[in-house]
Structure 1
Amino acid sequence: MSHRRIPKRNAVLAGAGAVGIVAAAILLPQANASQGGAGEQSGSPRTMSAAAAAELLQKLGGQLGDSYGGAYYDADKQQLVVNVAGGDTSGSAEVEKAGAVARTVQNSLPTLTSAMNSLSAKASVPGTAWAVDPRTNEILVTADRTVTGERWDTVETAVRSLGDGVAHIQKSKGEFKPFIEGGDAIFGGGSRCSLGFNVTTQDGRPGFLTAGHCGVAAEQWSEEPNGEPIGTVQEAVFPGEGDFALVTYDDPNTQAPSAVDTGDGQVLEITQAADAAVGLQVFRMGSTTGLRDGQVTGLNATVNYPEGTVSGLIQTDVCAEPGDSGGALFTRDGNAVGLTSGGSGDCTSGGETFFQPVTTALEAVGAQIGAGAGGDGGADNGGAGDNGGAGDNGGAGDNGGVDGNGGADGNGGVDGNGGAGNGDSEEGW
């Protein structure tokens, strides 16, 4: 495995590792789906790209109010599916008129949000995580291998107390932990992490984002073990409402282009920050395992690490290992999506990996990426919806995505085209 360092005056995004053949191949540009072909009738489902679906949901999410139950992108049919709760026939008609598919469900996003708050109060034991899945219209609760005995009973009791059809549990073979140690990339305080995305700070200085647990582990970071520092931590959040840190380059003349080094001399330009979506095909670059791909499986996830609880994360099936922490999560078309936080498993057995949404981190530290897109993310702090979408806090919906903290809805979906062995999937917005 070859590794590339971060030149002081040409800080192209760090990332080490050989690029897998599959991952490299699917990074090649692909044609976008039609955003509505000729002859399609108003009121009938339209075929559209994932990006077009996100835009449409930003318009629809707020119109449905409390009957909105999340949404996802059906990659096979190239259609936006919007969940409508409470038998709201007028809401369903509005969805269909806009060209999306209206799906009648039991739970509204306000109901699921309230249920997640209940889990936080009753089941915040280390080794657990949860996020809304719009495809099942339930909360997916994941417990790692350390959750046994009384701790398992606590989680199971909390899930049952929510009632039928609100949440379900799955077991993970691994153990949830931050991926902070390993090989080489950026070094500080005896720890090794990965550089995420280069940014420009509020005062115009060059800097970069990495994981918050890296930022609290050491104040200064270098490009070699025990080497001369190249950057100093200005702000770090972990645990709590995120896992991100802002590091400014000590040399104000450092050239910090908005790009990700994907290995083997290949560089992908990053043009803007964007919210995630369940099912969205994403790529991760890290100093230990290089370039890997997979899909987003949950949004606005809460993870209970041994070090403490972190909320507002993106859940994926992209593999990662120690040392990948802080590394870039991005899309084929150059959107910065997340920063590697932690998870379970490795790149042999797989597992779940969680990421800090870039849009939330940029807004918190007041920095910009690319041409300055990102930061606020949409109308009302990010998206169209209640807590993350075109709406109150981030996506176009309630909790994550075009819904809550980055995708469209609690748990969107997008043609995974692979991921770690995954075929097609659904992309949620």
Structure 2
Amino acid sequence: MNAADDWTTEEVCEWLNEHGFSQYSDLLCAQHRIDGPVLLTLTEHDLRQPPLQIPILGDIKRLIICIDSLKDPQGLNTFIPNGALSLNSSRFVNKARRRGKFDSESVTDDEEEDLVDTSDKKRHSVHLSRNLDPEIWKTFLSFVYVFCVFLLTAFVMVIVHDRVPDMEKYPPLPDIFLDNLPYIPWAFQVCEIVGVLLFSIWSSILFFHKHRFILMRRMFSLTGTVFLLRCFTMLITSLSVPGMHLQCSGKMYGDTWVKLRRTLEIWMGFGMTLQGVRTCGDYMFSGHTVIITILNFFITEYTSRRQIYFLHTFTWVLNVFGIFFILAAHEHYSIDVFIAFYITSRLFLYYHTLANNRSLMLRDKKRTQVWFPLFSFFESKCDSIVPNEYEWPFRYPKSFIKFFEGKRK
């Protein structure tokens, strides 16, 4: 049974207004008393011929598309082009839900739109995901993956330190920003503080997010992939130091055991100067830029843009200022920072475009398996957009559980 089967003429009129057909509401509802059941029987022929005789072909086609969406036995599951399924149509979803025609968990408050999903798990909606299995074992594997990549990155940083060009023979390269930006000694520490702040915000979001294991899996796989790429770029070409203030001397870690011990020191200190870690040669591209950028993108992706807009603005300001402080510290060339931001942001958007559009992933399934095997593996059961739902992760205290349940309602 369809959601529109028991609509009154007033509800049909409201539906027409919500979908941009207000100019025909008087014709269809007031003059011809079309209610829900009659609306579902209308054809293109009915709209073209008297007594309706709508003169605009585009309106006829769009109205038929909207009516066809109502005929879907699962209710409003078909994709409507040109924004025909408007945000305000959630009122009709709520009415249908009260009548028992939708699964009570199918409509959620996402950051962009109120979307409707099907209760038929065999169908792949283009909207919200119905298959939200946390697959904790995959999250664990993604953690192992990023863990190993970070170890490899630390080892590569030791290797490239031995290959740093001599500062007297190879001075800093010309750089349009560094040449015009004065050196600020404390700027790099401020950048790392920005990273710690962004990480604290993201950790809080993960703690309360209902689908935290899916988010962690995506975070680990994307971060690991970007840093694995960074390992290759660091090894391929060794750039001269970007600033004369950097005291770098090559061939410090000639012995294998010394290299391994230094690798462990870098890994345990997360490569941060706040932890006493100083490295040279790991310039192309900036790991600090990667971290603050990917944290910013994850925070803005998995929080509501409408409800906490200030947080999105705040994290973007931190991202921009973090990049500025990296340059102000003369720890990286401008190209290092630019490439890091570009690769991180593009990979994040590419990953989520495929994850949020099941049809794209299915169409290019074989190509995706070859060029993006981790995505094919980790997202095999997550068929579309992950809604931003929050909960208290523990069974106690019950007052918090009731608070979050009330928020969801």
Work out whether the TM-score is over 0.5: no
Structure holding more helix per residue: 2
TM-score of the two chains, using structure 2 as the length reference:
0.20
TM-score of the two chains, using structure 1 as the length reference:
0.20
Structure holding more strand per residue: 1
